[in-house]
Structure 1
Amino acid sequence: MVTRNDVARLAGTSPAVVSYVINNGPKPVSEAARRRVLAAVAELGYRPNAVARSLRARRTWTIGVIASGNTGGTSPFFGQFTRACEEVAWQRGYSVLLGNSAEDPMRAEGYVRRFMEHQVDGLVLMRVPIAPERAEEMRGRVPVVTIDHTAPPHFSRLAVDDEEGGYQATRHLVQHGHRRIGYVGGPLDITPVRLRAIGWRRALRESALLPPGPATSPLTPAEPTAADLRADDLIAEGEFSLEGGYTAALRLLSSAERPTALFASIDTQAIGAMRAAADLGLRVPQDVAVVGFDGAREAAYTVPGLTTISQPIDEMARRATETLVAAIEKENEEPLTEIFSATLITRGSCGCPEPHLRR
């Protein structure tokens, strides 16, 4: 069996340098030495013993990523985030195990338990609720980064400013002259959906355009609950999918006093809402304007192009992965909290000039 010492002799380096090249650290190696080591590895057919390596280092070089998607189709946020997360992990020498909780708390719990049984070095939880007893059990065993607004104090927490994003979207529609603006949302019990609705409502309140119903009274210091928001007749809930956006928008656009603009909690729902408008004989944006949330790449390819609140998805994934790796490698074990800003990207669906993709 070819050993690391054999590779070192052929490459003219020390066994430690061979280890640094194979493990991508922890110490830097010159490009010339790296090329010699890789050439020797290829010539000798050297294959490191991953099990022995893990036992020595007490590490598996794997990260578990659990996303709160669903089987009916979900926000492009999750797919783009996990791809970016995997890219950064690969660059740092880690592999990624991916689980989809399908918005099922029991399934999410099962993935957490299974990944910990496989001794992953860290976990990224994307809007996955964790029972307090499970979170306490994880303390000191495995570092965790959550992509959510709420998390135990010993978890790192990253999130986008959902309320401000909802406010920006609605304020932009108000500036276009709309006075009756509907909200097509996912389940309001989910924190980001509710926060985006609160931002929608804040923009309406500031413009004296509060929708009718019990939830139109001035906000108290406490945030409105999902039940409060459901009382507004300009809010329609639907699944995180094209079909969910389509059916929710149909309910709003078929009403006697239909809205002239819609803000959707994710881009996928917004695209479904645009189809609902077309099926009702309504033109976008002349008869109904539409704004989404996420900044999905697909939003630029609808007709007209979809105006959206863009999350810095790649930046958040990079920050989450680097934070987790730093905790795994004991570089920085202090929990981090970081809230990212969202950006309004204007296209034709709101009535703004339509940018052309051709350069």
Structure 2
Amino acid sequence: MVTRNDVARLAGTSPAVVSYVMNNGPKPVSAATKSRVLAAVEELGYRPNAVARSLRARRTWTIGVIASDSAGGKSPFFGEFTRSCEDVAWERGYSVLLGNSAEQPVRAEGYVRSFLERQVDGLVLMRVRPSAQQVKELEGRVPVVTIDHEAPPFFSRLAVDDEEGGYLAAKHLAGHGHTRLAFVGGPLDIMAVELRLAGWRKGLAEAGLDSSLVAHAEISLEGGYSAAAELLAERPTALFATTDHQAIGAMRAAADLGLRVPADLAIVGFDGARESAFTVPGLTTIRQPIDEMARFAAETLIAAIEQGETEPVTRIFPAELVRRGSCGCQDPRTP
């Protein structure tokens, strides 16, 4: 087996310098020396022993990410967030273990337990809430970043301003002159849905409009379709959905009923997912900065891993209205 000492002899340097090159630190190495070391690594086929490295450093350079829908089949938010989080981890030399809880608490707890057994250095929880017992197990063991509005005091957390997002949607549709508006929401046990509904009702109340047209369904294309089909029997002229996928499902429900978007029904979604720019017409949406949020989560977690004990961080990201054709605004020619 080729060792670090073999690489050092061929490169004409010390084993410590080889370590600095392979680990990107902690001490800087000149470009010329780094080039010699990498050439020796390539010639000898050297591969560091990851197990030995982990034992020495008491770190595995792995992060566990647990999402309620990691594939993005129900909401594109999770897939896009996971990808951006993984990009940051890769840039910093960490591997990512991914678990999909499928919105099942028992499965989520199983992933937490499994990742801890595999000695991950930290956890990112995407709208996944561990049990009270698991929270006790996590405290002082690994740093945790959660994407949620509520969390134990030692978790770092981030979220988008969901209530402001619902408010922006209501004010925008009311500004188009709509007086009969409907809300398609996900399950009410999700705090983000509660907050988006609260903001929606606040915006309509300020406009002197009724907010009683509400239907809840699962967060998916199918859920948006079924909830919208139910509400469209009441003939609203505008609709706000709590995710882009639900909004796209609502667009299909409107089409199946012979309704034109936006002439007969204006629609606004929530997420700012990539697909929203490619619907016809383009989907007006409340954008959450998914890439920025994911990078913040990964960088916050890695800082806690590498710096040891740090104070937990909380950050609420602003929501932004993105105007496209589905609400009656001018539709951009290109996404």
TM-score range, shorter chain: over 0.9
Following the alignment from structure 1 to structure 2, what is the Cα–Cα distance between the partners of residues 5 and 70?
42
What is the deviation of 1:16?
A: 2.1
The letter for the 1-side match of 2:109 is E
Structure 1 counterpart of 2:263? 286
1:274 and 2:251 equivalent? yes
SS of the residue 2:307 aligns to = coil
TM-score of the superposition, structure 1-length normalised? 0.90
Pairing partner for 2:218 from 219, 236, 239 = 239
Which deviates more, 332-341 or 70-79? 70-79
What is the deviation of 1:331?
A: 5.8
Following the alignment from structure 2 to structure 1, what is the Cα–Cα distance between the partners of residues 71 and 275?
19
| Change beyond 3 A, Cα 1:10–1:147 | same
What is the deviation of 1:62?
A: 0.3
| Change beyond 3 A, Cα 1:139–1:357 | same
Structure 1 counterpart of 2:166? 166
Which deviates more, 275-284 or 35-44? 35-44
Question: Is the 8 Å Cα contact of residues 307 and 347 (structure 1) preserved in structure 2?
Answer: yes
1:250 and 2:229 equivalent? yes
The letter for the 1-side match of 2:160 is V
Question: Is the 8 Å Cα contact of residues 239 and 267 (structure 2) preserved in structure 1?
Answer: yes
Structure 2 counterpart of 1:219? none
What is the deviation of 1:131?
A: 1.6
The letter for the 1-side match of 2:287 is S
Question: Is the 8 Å Cα contact of residues 73 and 240 (structure 1) preserved in structure 2?
Answer: no
SS of the residue 1:158 aligns to = strand
Following the alignment from structure 1 to structure 2, what is the Cα–Cα distance between the partners of residues 308 and 7?
55
SS of the residue 1:290 aligns to = strand
What is the deviation of 1:249?
A: 0.4
Structure 2 counterpart of 1:351? 328
TM-score of the superposition, structure 2-length normalised? 0.97
SS of the residue 1:314 aligns to = helix
Following the alignment from structure 1 to structure 2, what is the Cα–Cα distance between the partners of residues 268 and 235?
17
| Change beyond 3 A, Cα 1:320–1:27 | farther
Unpaired runs of 5+ residues, structure 2, are none
The letter for the 1-side match of 2:258 is G
What is the deviation of 1:129?
A: 1.0
| Change beyond 3 A, Cα 1:251–1:327 | same
Question: Is the 8 Å Cα contact of residues 263 and 292 (structure 1) preserved in structure 2?
Answer: yes
Following the alignment from structure 2 to structure 1, what is the Cα–Cα distance between the partners of residues 310 and 327?
44
Question: Is the 8 Å Cα contact of residues 185 and 215 (structure 2) preserved in structure 1?
Answer: yes
Structure 1 counterpart of 2:239? 262
Following the alignment from structure 1 to structure 2, what is the Cα–Cα distance between the partners of residues 356 and 58?
54
The letter for the 2-side match of 1:193 is V
Question: Is the 8 Å Cα contact of residues 64 and 124 (structure 1) preserved in structure 2?
Answer: yes
Structure 2 counterpart of 1:11? 11
SS of the residue 1:8 aligns to = helix
Question: Is the 8 Å Cα contact of residues 145 and 157 (structure 2) preserved in structure 1?
Answer: yes
Structure 2 counterpart of 1:227? none
SS of the residue 1:113 aligns to = helix
- Percent sequence identity over matched residues? 73
What is the deviation of 1:31?
A: 3.3
Question: Is the 8 Å Cα contact of residues 71 and 78 (structure 2) preserved in structure 1?
Answer: no
| Change beyond 3 A, Cα 1:70–1:241 | farther
Structure 2 counterpart of 1:183? 183
| Change beyond 3 A, Cα 1:299–1:72 | closer
Following the alignment from structure 2 to structure 1, what is the Cα–Cα distance between the partners of residues 71 and 217?
14
Following the alignment from structure 2 to structure 1, what is the Cα–Cα distance between the partners of residues 294 and 27?
25
SS of the residue 1:329 aligns to = helix
CA RMSD of aligned residues (A): 1.5
Question: Is the 8 Å Cα contact of residues 71 and 79 (structure 2) preserved in structure 1?
Answer: no
What is the deviation of 1:71?
A: 8.7
Deviations 1:260-305 (CA, angstroms, capped at 9, x unpaired): 1111000001000000000000000000000000000011000000
Following the alignment from structure 1 to structure 2, what is the Cα–Cα distance between the partners of residues 161 and 354?
26
What is the deviation of 1:88?
A: 0.3
